[in-house]
Amino acid sequence: MPIPNSHIADIFNRIADLLEIKEDNPFRIRAYRDAARTVGDLSGNVADMVEKGEDLAKLPGIGKDLAAKIREMVATGSLSFLQKLEEEVPGGLIDLLRISGLGPRKVGRLYRELGITSLIELKTALKDKKVRQLNGFGEKTEQNISEKIERLSAGQQRQPGSGR
């Protein structure tokens, strides 16, 4: 079964998030986001294009490097560059992106400036009122993050069909 465009787009978006957490080059980050949008918006399957030997670099926002990454994903179902990035960025930071209002840039700042690498560490920093000390995060932001964590935790505790 060929790899769906949505899966390739998700991988490119995940790479963009990881690069943004790392404060990588903004143009590089945008290139991955644009590639995700291009692949996600295609009417045909990009895997079929690869199998037919079509030049993916002719797609808007897809250069030789990104075309090679698409071919790797189609051939293997994964991407070595993503795996490398995931080894460089603490895994708990990806979990923090599930909190509404915490994008890659803010998660990166929490990591660099407060050493936060997990939800538990974020909860502790919020409780100790450390987050509000960061430029651009205030008491209100700290409160909003706390509320969103509570809602997220409450949603995870409920299991479908459990009667709760």
pLDDT tens profile 27-55 = 999 999 999 999 999 999 999 999 999 99
For position 44, which CATH number holds?
1.10.150.110
pLDDT of residue 160 exceeding 70, the answer is: no
For residue 113, the 8-state DSSP code is H
% of the chain at pLDDT higher than 90: 79
Are residues 22 and 76 located together in one domain of the fold? Answer: yes
> Six-digit token pair at 7?
């899966």
Looking at residue 1, what is its pLDDT? 67
28: Cα separation from own chain's centroid: 14
Domain ends where: 87, 114, 146? 87
**9, 83: one domain:** yes
Q: Are residues 17 and 83 in the same domain?
A: yes
Write out the two tokens for 107.
């998660």
> What's the mean per-residue pLDDT of the chain?
90
**Is residue 142 situated within a structural domain?**
yes
Cβ atoms 14, 82 nearer than 8 A: yes
Res. 10: pLDDT tops 90: yes
Residue 73 within a domain: yes
What's the CA gap between 89 and 22, in Å, rounded? 8
CA distance 58 to 62: 7
